[in-house]
Amino acid sequence: MDVREAHAFLAVAEELHFGRAAERLHIAQPPLSRTIRNLERAYGTALFDRTTRTVSLTPAGRALLPAAQRLADAAADVDRVMADVTAGRTGRIRLGFASTSNHRHVGRLARRVKADHPGLALELHSAQFSHQGFSRVMDGHLDLAIGRWDHLPPELDSVLLRREEVLIALPADHRLAHRDEVAFAELADEDWIVLPTGVSAALHHRFTSLSLSAGVIPRVTETAPDSWTMLVLVAAGNGVGFSMETVRDNAHHESGVRFVRLSGPANPMDMRMIWRRDHDSAALRSVVQASVEVFQEHDDGSPASASPGAGG
Does 55 have pLDDT greater than 90? yes
User: Residues 229-252, buried b or exposed e (16+ Cβ, 10 A)?
Assistant: ebbbbbbeebbbbbbbbbbbbbbe
pTM of this prediction exceeds 0.75: no
List, in order of start, the domains of the chain with CATH numbers: 3-86 (1.10.10.10), 88-163+270-298 (3.40.190.10), 166-262 (3.40.190.10)
Residue-by-residue DSSP string for 43-74: HTS-SEEE-SS-EEE-HHHHHHHHHHHHHHHH
What pLDDT, on the 0 to 100 scale, is given for residue 128? 73
Q: What is the mean pLDDT of the chain?
A: 86
Q: What is the predicted pLDDT for the residue at 252?
A: 61
Lowest-confidence pick of 35-49, 79-93, 143-157: 79-93
Model confidence at 102: pLDDT above 50: yes
pLDDT digits (tens, 9 = 90+) for 70-95: 998 888 777 776 776 666 666 889 99
